[in-house]
Amino acid sequence: MEIAHPYLLFLGDVPDALAAKTAIGIVDWRKDWCLGQVRLQGCAADTGLPDMKIAEGAAAGAKTMIIGAVNAGGRLPDHWVASVIEALDSGMDVASGLHVRLGDIPAIREAAERNGRSLHDVRHNDMTFATGKGTKRQGKRILAVGTDCSVGKKYTALAMDRAMNERGYNSTFCATGQTGVFISGRGVALDAVVADFISGAAEWISPETEAENWQIIEGQGSLFHPSFAGVTLGLLHGSQPDGFIVCHEPTRTKMRGVETPLPTIQQVIDMTIQCGRLTNPDIRCIGIAVNTAALDKDEALAFLAKVGEKHGLPATDPVRFGMDAIVDKVSAEFGAP
């Protein structure tokens, strides 16, 4: 799938920044590919890019309009359809990470055909995956797991991959969600894979490699989330990580979108080890990544120190403070590059 850039990011009228996490993630890691954002009236998210009309974005040279918003069920709201058609009529391709296929909407399909434009449905693919086999494969792997969904697993994996490469490791980021695919150019949106084949898809995402190579795998959902635990478990079994990083947001008391209480970090560590031993008996926790965006710097540092001491693990905020402490843990546990 070749998605042409520069991008114009469509945010629609989403109610908060989390609902625009696809667009925000692209800007954070591929800002040089982005020209501007399109926001409808009532949009409460902002990537920091210049606001543009669709025609302005096309005139500025945008090649693809990316639907950079997410919602429950991955639907395309009816009132967004006109914007997608306008982008196609303006000469752009359109890419989406939603569950719905753009071409399944007749008006969008017809607009793409009459303009000779491409529709990219990143959550869908033409691959046929085998069921997971659980056979130990060469190479080393790190998986980001979470106390909840939307706590920073993608950012943690990307930051860890960058930090390990900077320290001399041969490391690769493996995308398992639509935003990660936009950022990396390769991967599979696991939440769109038929349940029987999730672990097999995870094996495909992180295949056998050279013994000294590392694959840093983007996490999905949480083993404790009643909506998404099935995807999380399949990813854990298929990726058979040697090490995992627990991602956490300290101000939450309930899991996002449900009334289920948030698990503790220790519960996540224990459950991940218990379940992960099925495909890697040597699985271990190598660090804690905390999204401290809601805390000031002193509060964040104090919280990280407390969490690190409590669990005997390096704790950091990947965005604010980097991943050096967890890379040090990798060196201690598995050896220097």
* Range 140-334: architecture per CATH: 3-Layer(aba) Sandwich (3.40)
Contact 294, 251 (CB under 8 A): yes
Residues 6+ apart with CB under 8 A from 175: 181, 183, 184, 186, 187, 188, 205, 218
Q: Tell whether the model's pLDDT for residue 185 goes beyond 80.
A: no
User: Taking each helix axis from N to C terminus, what angle separates 153-166 and 324-334, rounded to the nearest 10 degrees?
Assistant: 70
**C-alpha–C-alpha distance, residues 7 and 63, integer Å:** 6
Phi, psi of 173 (to 5 degrees): -85, 130
Q: What is the pLDDT of residues 7-17, one digit of tens each?
A: 999 999 999 99
Contact 288, 245 (CB under 8 A): yes
Q: Span 116-136, mean pLDDT?
A: 91
Half-sphere exposure of 309 (CA within 13 A, CB side): 6
Res 182: pLDDT: 86
Q: What would the 3-class secondary structure string for 163-183 be?
A: HHHHCCCCEEEEECCHHHHHH
Residues 6+ apart with CB under 8 A from 295: 250, 251, 303
Res 313: pLDDT: 98
CATH number of 7-121: 3.40.50.720
**C-alpha–C-alpha distance, residues 232 and 222, integer Å:** 6
Name the residue among 220, 195, 223 with its Cα closest to residue 143: 220
Res 191: pLDDT: 84
Res 92: pLDDT: 98
Q: Is 320 left (phi over 0), alpha (psi -120 to 50) or beta?
A: alpha
Amino acid in position 116: G
Q: Distance of CA 311 to CAs 153, 219, 275, Å?
A: 19, 21, 19
Q: Span 171-184, mean pLDDT?
A: 90
Q: Which residues of 251-265 are buried (b: 16+ CB within 10 A; e: fewer)?
A: ebeebbeeeeebbeb
Helix, strand, coil percentages, rounded to 5, for the chain: 40, 15, 45
E strands, 131-218, are: 140-146, 171-174, 214-217
Res 1: pLDDT: 59
Counting residues of the chain whose pLDDT is more than 70, the rounded percentage is 99
Q: What is the pLDDT of residues 34-82, one digit of tens each?
A: 999 999 999 999 999 999 999 999 999 999 999 999 876 778 999 999 9
Domain boundaries, the chain: 7-121, 140-334
3-state DSSP call for residue 260? coil
Prediction pTM value: 0.84
Lookup result for tokens 């809601």: 294
Instruction: Please tell me the least confidently modeled range out of 87-96, 175-184, 221-230.
Output: 175-184
**C-alpha–C-alpha distance, residues 138 and 159, integer Å:** 23
Q: What is the pLDDT of residues 50-60, one digit of tens each?
A: 999 999 999 99
